[in-house]
Amino acid sequence: MAAQWDFSCDLVVDFQSEEKASMVHRALAVDKELQPDKVRREITVSDGKLSVHFEAVEARFLRASYSAFVDVLILATKTIEEFSQGVEL
């Protein structure tokens, strides 16, 4: 039986810099979903914005994936901010 992708949500973060958004994208794109048969995630960058589209077969998988992604997104963003202070990106 094919998966029913009944649950979805989108997240958009405006980094106001194509380079910062691309750095975060590259850092987070390597982490694949642990259950790709239950959750899908697509990350794109455009106009300095990181856009993420999630789809899942159940709300609980969507929530777990979204929450875990936001945790690593915050970590990546803080790391870039810390190491880019005084550097024009």
Quote the CA–CA distance of 57 and 1 in Å, as a whole number.
12
Count CB atoms within 10 A of the CB of residue 22: 15
Q: Is the domain 7-83 a CATH 3.30.310.50 member? A: yes
What is the predicted pLDDT for the residue at 84?
73
List, for residues 22-49, the tens digit of each pLDDT value: 999 999 988 888 889 999 999 999 999 9
pTM for this one?
0.85
* Nearest C-alpha neighbor of 35 from the set 65, 9, 5: 65
Size of the chain, expressed as the number of residues it contains: 89
Residue 40 is inside which H or E element, if any? strand 39-46
Q: For residue 51, what are the contacts with CB-CB under 8 A and spacing of at least 6?
A: 10, 11, 12, 43, 44, 45
